[in-house]
Amino acid sequence: MRIFSGIQPTGRKHLGNYVGAIRQWVVGQDRGQAIHCIVDLHAITVPYEPSELTTTVLDTSALLMAAGLDPDRCLLFRQSDVREHTELCWLLTPVTAYGELSRMTQFKEKSAQQKDFVSTGIFFYPVLQAADVLAYQTNEVPVGEDQKQHVELMRDIAQRFNSRFGETFVVPEHRVPAVAARIMDLQQPEMKMSTTGSSELGAVFMLDRPDDIRRKFRSAVTDSGREIVRGPDKPGISNLIDIMAAVREVEPDEIEKEYVDAEGYAGLKQDVGEAVVDLFAPIQERYAEIRPDEKAIAEVLATGADRARAISSETVRLVRERMGLGP
């Protein structure tokens, strides 16, 4: 069983990133061969500062290790250190349709935001993402709900390649967390929590100070009425219930039962804030220990890249052979 995950090195990681992805990755280390990639090549498809990219790669790597990724139990590496990703991306283009890429939700959203200049990198982003996964003959891709469309495209690309050139790729499956796959914005609970789209009060970041986390939950938007139940007319309370359930790793129904006699929302908001503070406290402590040693982080990434190339180079060799390329 191979499990592949990729994460952007840009932007602060928030509660939704942790619940929807990072925590799954930590658990996945005991379920199979876990492969985790810092996708810096994806990061350059939108405007960015080159001088900051190396730093943010180290930040993200340290945070992942602080959250529980163990380089002795998984592969952790920087995408651009493994050139097989970019080669395989191009080799997959003959079995990827223009119409498929133009219909991708992420492409539509990002191209709408960048009306003056829409890079082809945004358009080809899903093909590189497919290459990331297929290069390792991946069985499972743990993702949030918003990435299911990309996994479906990976599956289509793999099946189309296998049909045209012969059985080559494992067709990956997606794995979505059962509880709180989508953590919503605390100020606008109709929209997903986001590093770029949320306000400072709307997103809870993994490295936020405890008092800031508490303040954000105290300020969380709630709904009319006083009953603590989920429902389409209660997006704010539904989000808080889902967050508490995700932190405790229980079903949302259990949280509703616990607060059935509560008078108002203040107690729930306070309790959720404390639960998130407790959730992130050991991660923050470990991050403070890991991040200063940049040499050690770089060594982890280099070792991971060597191990990743050993797998991906064999896949690319097979793909080239199937396609009639090279000697």
What per-residue confidence (pLDDT) applies to 144?
Answer: 67
Range of the domain at 223: 210-287
What per-residue confidence (pLDDT) applies to 178?
Answer: 60
**18 lies in the same domain as 125:** yes
**168 lies in the same domain as 222:** no
**297 lies in the same domain as 269:** no
**135 lies in the same domain as 245:** no
Answer whether residue 202 is part of any domain.
no
What's the domain count of the chain? 2
Q: Give the domain CATH number at 305.
A: 3.40.50.620
**250 lies in the same domain as 175:** no
What per-residue confidence (pLDDT) applies to 195?
Answer: 83
Nearest to 20 by CA among 141, 140, 144: 144
Q: pLDDT means per 10 residues in the chain (327 residues)?
A: 92 89 88 94 90 94 97 96 98 95 82 77 93 97 78 96 98 75 87 84 95 96 86 92 92 91 89 97 98 97 98 98 92
Measure the CA–CA gap between 56 and 58, rounded to whole angstroms: 5
Answer whether residue 197 is part of any domain.
no
**233 lies in the same domain as 299:** no
**270 lies in the same domain as 302:** no
What per-residue confidence (pLDDT) applies to 80?
Answer: 97
**246 lies in the same domain as 317:** no
**277 lies in the same domain as 307:** no
Q: Give the domain CATH number at 276.
A: 1.10.240.10
Nearest to 81 by CA among 37, 33, 128: 37
DSSP state of 185: P
Answer whether residue 205 is part of any domain.
no
For the chain, what percentages of helix, strand and coil (3-state, to nearest 5) are there? 55, 10, 35
**250 lies in the same domain as 174:** no
**168 lies in the same domain as 261:** no
pTM: 0.90
**167 lies in the same domain as 314:** yes
Answer whether residue 192 is part of any domain.
no
